[in-house]
């Protein structure tokens, strides 16, 4: 059964924080809490094309949602034993730290301060991004260095806001940041002339731009301001839970490298002689024991969710729900193809 919640107020979060903390204290590990509850609580943000969005039926889909579903599949053998929580940028880390969310999977940039000062652990990125600017094509602006004195719309409480300030100071641009909690309001303000440009992760801007009334009236400038490794995160201090989430992501990456897909995984489990495939799918060996999961945990992920490449194409690439971002030759390609997508050996 799927549950959907939207948390937007500090008061509501405070009430749930007490409940979450009480629940957490009653069990020894996050895995035990999740199993007793009967479903995973996974946090995303307000709808964002490519990563987490709502279909006509009100169901969530996207690359980050698939990470949530993969972890649910690994634990329960069912990707739908899942509660998706849509939480604002300002409250996201608090919600995870206080136990209301079991897992954060929502375009959060892995930075040193977040990883060392918030009581959280960031894991293997599921998308490598970089920040850029979108401007009106008829503005004549072709470079971010031409934004001197410009007003730039940006989402508050994000690394994007901080990067904008750094870039402006470094290049003596005197940019004025116009901040918003909701990226939809941010983009609407830009479209109505309230800002000269809008800034954000280039992948998110590509998805949002596609929904503009006339997408061809806008361009994304060539400069990339920052490194944005977007990664899931968990609370610090539960190494078993960290391993479960990490290896759920690694399993999808490793499966792509080995040529294991949602379409052939059953046949390969039954017939493959490749020891690497057999170990990953639980046919031989005991990889599951260190995670505290069943032998078929990775098989369940690939069967229900697919490998990383399948998910990239479906949601970030040219699939029906994709946003058309090329993968070939980018950091999001497999390491065997010059990218950064790499799984440690599953042995």
| pLDDT at residue number 9 | 38
| Residue 62 resides in a domain | yes
| Residue 162 resides in a domain | yes
From start to end of the chain, where are the E strands?
A: 2-7, 40-44, 53-54, 60-61, 82-87, 103-104, 120-122, 127-129, 131-136, 151-155, 176-180, 197-201, 218-220, 228-230, 233-235
Same domain assignment for residues 107 and 248: yes
Same domain assignment for residues 104 and 241: yes
pLDDT at 20 over 60: no
| Residue 114 resides in a domain | yes
| Residue 215 resides in a domain | yes
Of 177, 207, 226, the last residue of a domain is 226
| pLDDT at residue number 90 | 87
Mean pLDDT (whole number) for 303-307: 98
Same domain assignment for residues 41 and 139: no
Mean pLDDT (whole number) for 19-41: 75
Residues 6+ apart with CB under 8 A from 297: 73, 74, 75, 251, 282, 288, 291
Q: Tens digit of pLDDT for each residue in 57-91?
A: 999 999 999 999 999 999 999 999 999 999 988 89
pLDDT at 331 over 80: yes
Of 209, 226, 243, the last residue of a domain is 226
Same domain assignment for residues 204 and 323: no
| Residue 82 resides in a domain | yes
| Residue 346 resides in a domain | no
Residues 6+ apart with CB under 8 A from 201: 107, 129, 130, 131, 132, 160, 228, 230
| pLDDT at residue number 15 | 38
| pLDDT at residue number 39 | 98
| pLDDT at residue number 14 | 39
* Residues 219 and 135 sit within 8 Å (Cβ to Cβ): yes
Domain residue limits at 140 = 131-226
At 273, which CATH number?
3.40.190.10
| Residue 92 resides in a domain | yes
| pTM for this predicted structure | 0.86
Same domain assignment for residues 240 and 135: no
Mean pLDDT (whole number) for 287-306: 97
How many structural domains is the chain composed of? 2
Q: Tens digit of pLDDT for each residue in 203-212?
A: 888 888 888 9
Same domain assignment for residues 123 and 34: yes
| pLDDT at residue number 24 | 44
Same domain assignment for residues 17 and 115: yes
| pLDDT at residue number 26 | 45
Same domain assignment for residues 251 and 327: yes
| Residue 273 resides in a domain | yes
pLDDT over 70 percentage in the chain: 92
Q: CA torsion, points 250, 253, 255, 261, in degrees to nearest 10?
A: 130
Same domain assignment for residues 239 and 312: yes
pLDDT over 90 percentage in the chain: 84
| pLDDT at residue number 127 | 97
Of 226, 260, 279, the last residue of a domain is 226
**Residue 297: pLDDT band with limits 50, 70, 90:** very high
Same domain assignment for residues 234 and 330: yes
pLDDT at 25 over 80: no
């Amino acid at each position: 059964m799927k549950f959907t919640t939207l948390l937007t107020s500090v008061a509501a979060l405070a009430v749930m924080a007490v409940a979450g903390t009480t629940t957490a204290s009653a069990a020894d590990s996050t895995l035990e809490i999740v199993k007793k509850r009967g479903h995973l609580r996974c946090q995303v943000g307000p709808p964002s094309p490519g990563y987490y969005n709502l279909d006509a039926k009100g169901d969530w889909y996207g690359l980050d949602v698939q990470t949530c579903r993969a972890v649910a599949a690994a634990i329960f053998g069912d990707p739908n034993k899942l509660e998706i929580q849509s939480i604002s940028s300002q409250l996201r880390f608090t919600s995870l730290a206080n136990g209301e969310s079991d897992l954060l999977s929502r375009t959060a940039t892995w930075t040193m301060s977040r990883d060392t000062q918030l009581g959280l652990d960031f894991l293997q990125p599921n998308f490598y991004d970089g920040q850029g600017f979108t401007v009106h094509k008829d503005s004549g602006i072709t470079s971010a260095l031409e934004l001197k004195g410009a007003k730039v719309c940006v989402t508050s409480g994000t690394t994007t806001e901080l990067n904008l300030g750094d870039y402006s100071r470094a290049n003596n641009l005197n940019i004025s940041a116009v901040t918003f909690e909701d990226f939809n309001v941010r983009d609407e303000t830009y479209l109505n002339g309230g800002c000269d440009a809008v800034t954000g992760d280039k992948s998110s801007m590509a998805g949002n731009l596609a929904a503009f009334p006339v997408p061809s009236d806008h361009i994304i400038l060539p400069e990339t301001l920052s490194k944005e490794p977007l990664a899931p995160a968990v609370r610090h201090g539960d190494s078993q839970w960290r391993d479960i989430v990490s290896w759920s992501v690694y399993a999808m990456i490793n499966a792509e490298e080995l040529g294991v897909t949602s379409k052939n995984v059953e046949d390969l489990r039954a017939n493959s002689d490749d020891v690497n495939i057999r170990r990953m799918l639980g046919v031989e060996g005991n990889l599951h024991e260190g995670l505290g999961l069943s032998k078929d945990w990775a098989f369940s992920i690939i069967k229900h969710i697919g490998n990383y490449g399948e998910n990239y194409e479906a949601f970030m690439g040219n699939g029906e729900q994709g946003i058309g971002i090329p993968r070939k030759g980018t950091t999001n390609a497999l390491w065997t193809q010059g990218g950064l997508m790499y799984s440690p050996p599953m042995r």
